[in-house]
Amino acid sequence: MAVLGLGRSGLATARALRAGGADVVAWDDGAPAREKAEGEGIELRDLSKAKAWEGVALLVTSPGIPHLYPKPHPAIAAARAAGVPVDNDIGLFFRSFATREWDSFDQRPKVVAVTGSNGKSTTSALIHHILAESGRPTQLAGNIGRGVLDIEPARDGEVVVLELSSYQTDLARALTPDVAVFTNLSPDHLDRHGGLGGYFAAKRRLFAEGGPDRAVIGIDEDEGRYLANQLSEGKGDDRVIEVSSGQKLEGAAWSVFARKGFLAEWRRGRQVASVDLRDVKGLPGAHNHQNACAAWAVARSLGLGPRAIEAAMRSYPGLPHRSQRIAERDGVAFVNDSKATNVDSAAKALQAFQKIRWICGGLEKEGGLGPLVPFLGTVVKGYVIGREAAGFARQLPGIETEICTTMARAVERAVEEAKPGETVLLAPAAASFDQYDNFEKRGEDFAAEVRRHLG
C-alpha cells in the first residue's frame, strides 16, 4: 500500500495500514514530514516515478493533494498510469469500520457524517456534545479532531461523528454513513473542483454513493432544495429531514427550523418541540441556529428526547475560532470568528451581533466582497488587516474603515474606540496565508492581543 502526504491523516493512515498487516511505502513533498515518517520506520519512496508502482495494490492520498483539478499531483497521475486504484482515508474507514465484534453488540454502532460549506465543524461538534451529555458513547473525527483511522474501535451502541470536507468526499471510494448532513452551500474551493458545479457534486457524493438511512438537508439554497427533492419519495417520506434558518417549514414530513431565535420541530403537519435559542451563548446568530437545527434533527433521528437535547445545547461551549466569545469588559464583548474565511461565513457573523467593531482582511478569495455589502449595516467601523488592506477596504462602501495591516494595531484601535454594548469581532472574510500559517494561528493572535490589552 502506498500513502501520499504525511500530515495528520497521512501518518494515521500509514500506521493503521501497518497495524493491519500491509507493507507500506509513503511519500511527502516536504522534507520534515518525510523525516518524521522515516523516524517511525515507514519506508519512503518517490511516488512520482513510474517504477515506484511495482507491487503496489492501492494509493491512499491525503485530502489536501489535488487529484483532478487544477491538475493531478504527479504521484496520483503516475498511479493512474500504472493502473493502481486511488482512495483516501475516508474510503478506507467506511470499508473497514465494521468488525466481527459487532455480532455480539446489543446495538450496532452508527456513523453520522456532516458536510457543507459553512457550519459543519460546529454542527459536528454539537452533535458529539449532545450525544456525550446524553450518555451515548461517541467519537469525533475527520476534518475535526482525530483522523478517521486514528479513532478507537467502535463500542456497543457508539456513534462516530465525522466532519467531511469536499476534498474528503470527492475521492472516497466508500461513503456509507447511517445519517448524512448537508448544512449549506456557498462558493469555495472552486479551483480544486473545477467550478461551483464540481464543488456541489463532491458534497452530493455523500448522499448518492451509499444512500444513508436518514438525510438532514439544509434547504436555504437551491442546491439544498434540489438535494432534498432528489432524496425524497414524496411529502410523506420522513427519511429526509429538512432544515432551515429563517423559513417556516410545514410541508415536509419532518422538518426542523429556526425563526427569530426559536427552534421548532414539525412532524407530519404538527409541531412536536420548540426551544428558545436566544440565550444559548455557545450558539449566537442565525447561522448557529441553523447548525443547532441540523444537530437537533440528527439527535432526534438517533432517538434522543427534546429535553435532553435542549439541556446539552445550553452547556455547549462553542468551538475555538467560530463565534468564540473570548472576553468581555465594560460592556464590550470580544468574539473570535477567525474561521470566517469566506464572504458567506463573514456575512453570517455580521448578522449575529449588533454594533460591531469589525476586524477583517487577509488573502482575498475569488469573487470579491460585493456579497458582503448588504450586511454592513451592523458595522460601526472596520479595522482592516493583511498585506492588501487598502484594496480590501476600498470594497467596503458606506462604512468607516481604518487601514491597520497588523492584528496588533487593529485590536489596539478597536479596544480604544469600543463603547459599551458593542462587539469587537474578528471575522476576516479572507484566507490567512498572507500573514499566518492557518486561520487558527490568526485567531490565537487575536485572542492574545485582546488579553494583552485587557490585562
Is 61 assigned to a binding site?
no
Strand 86-87 with 59-61, pairing: parallel
What is the edge-to-edge ordering of all strands in the sheet holding 138-142?
A: 138-142, 159-163, 110-115, 179-182, 214-218, 240-245, 254-259, 262-267, 270-276
The gap from C-alpha 442 to its chain's centroid, in whole angstroms, comes to: 17
Is 143 assigned to a binding site?
no
> How many other CB atoms are found less than 10 A from the CB of residue 190?
16
Is 365 assigned to a binding site?
no
**Type of residue at 52:** A
For cell 474565511, the residue is: 341
DSSP 8-state symbol, 51:
G
SS3 169: helix
Instruction: Give the residue ranges of DSSP H helices in 43-138.
Output: 74-81, 89-96, 120-133
Residue 382 grid coordinates: 472596520
Residue 261 grid coordinates: 431565535
Is 249:266 a contact under the CB 8 Å cutoff? yes
Is 116 assigned to a binding site?
yes
Q: What is the rounded CA–CA span in Å between residue 370 and residue 235?
A: 38
The gap from C-alpha 289 to its chain's centroid, in whole angstroms, comes to: 16
Residues found in the chain = 455
For cell 455480532, the residue is: 103
The full DSSP string for 436-450 is SSSHHHHHHHHHHHH
**Type of residue at 109:** P
Please provide residue 189's backbone torsions phi and psi, each rounded to the nearest 5 degrees.
55, 35
Is 218:151 a contact under the CB 8 Å cutoff? no
Q: What is the rounded CA–CA span in Å between residue 234 and residue 253?
A: 9
Is 41 assigned to a binding site?
no
Residue 125 grid coordinates: 461538534
Is 432 assigned to a binding site?
no
Round to the nearest angstrom and report the end-to-end CA distance of the chain: 53
Is 62 assigned to a binding site?
no
**How far from 170 is each of 173, 199, 200, 278, CA to CA, in Å?**
9, 9, 10, 36
Binding residues: 116-122
Binding residues for ATP: 116-122
